[in-house]
Amino acid sequence: MDPSIIQKLRNGNEEARTEFYKQYRQQIYVYCYQLLGNRSDAEDTAQETFIKIFNGINSLQTAAAFRSWVYKIARNESFQLIRKKRPVALSHKLEYLEKDSVENLIESEDNARIVRNAIDTLKPEFREVILLREYHHLSYKEIADVMKTTTSAVKTKIFRARKSLLKKLSPYFGGI
């Protein structure tokens, strides 16, 4: 992110807010949707995220941490909503996958859908690191900042998440 835009945001510049919103709205919405699984909740949470960003921009310590700071806010807003709603576990998606035969499932859904369903059945902390790394392309350091943990802990979680994902996908893609 251009440091001059951050300064403009700190000064309350409306053009900078509009430019920033246009640049990040889709990424933040997708991330919230991936965590929440509901379009309406994701839209509301993304909007709350931008409000928090604009109101809290002066608390940002360094411009280098901007991207992870933005994702951290989106994460916190999403988890706050999850805690409020106390959603049912995502295991029903795994049950759905088990009910259909592998052949019918592969014929009826594309590979991306199968992978996404498998990701949805991961433990929340594993799902989150996979989403941040593979879908949002954050670095290990940025993920560590978002999750308030160490880089080595992130690497361990990603390793375990990939291992779990591999186990879930191997029946569909044959010994990957």
Q: Calculate the alpha carbon distances from 146 to 29, 69, 98, 171 in Å.
A: 16, 7, 33, 33
Last residue of a domain, one of 52, 86, 120: 86
Residues 121, 156 within the same domain:
yes
Residue 92 has pLDDT above 80, yes or no: no
Largest Cα–Cα separation, the chain: 58
How confident is the model at residue 110, as a pLDDT? 55
Cα 24 to chain center, whole Å? 13
Q: pLDDT digits over 163-172, tens only?
A: 999 998 888 7
Q: pLDDT digits over 69-91, tens only?
A: 999 999 999 988 887 875 444 44
Looking at 22-26, 41-45, 61-65, 105-109, which range is the least confident one? 105-109
Which CATH number goes with the domain that contains 159? 1.10.10.10
The residue that leads in pLDDT, 63 or 52, is 52
Residues 121, 76 within the same domain:
no
Looking at 17-21, 39-43, 103-107, which range is the least confident one? 103-107
Identify the domain containing residue 166 by its residue range: 88-176
The total domain count for the chain is 2
Residue 64 has pLDDT above 90, yes or no: no
Give the pLDDT band of residue 102 (cuts 50, 70, 90). Answer: very low
One DSSP character per residue, 153-167 reads HHHHHHHHHHHHHHH
How confident is the model at residue 176, as a pLDDT? 56
Give the pLDDT band of residue 56 (cuts 50, 70, 90). Answer: very high
pTM: 0.66
Cα 108 to chain center, whole Å? 26
Residues 121, 174 within the same domain:
yes
Q: pLDDT digits over 149-162, tens only?
A: 999 999 999 999 99
Angle, vertex CA 3, rays to CA 148 and CA 19, nearest 5: 95
Which CATH number goes with the domain that contains 8? 1.10.1740.10
Alpha carbons within 13 A on the beta-carbon side of 50? 19
* C-alpha–C-alpha distance, residues 104 and 151, integer Å: 40
Residues 69, 132 within the same domain:
no
How confident is the model at residue 96, as a pLDDT? 47
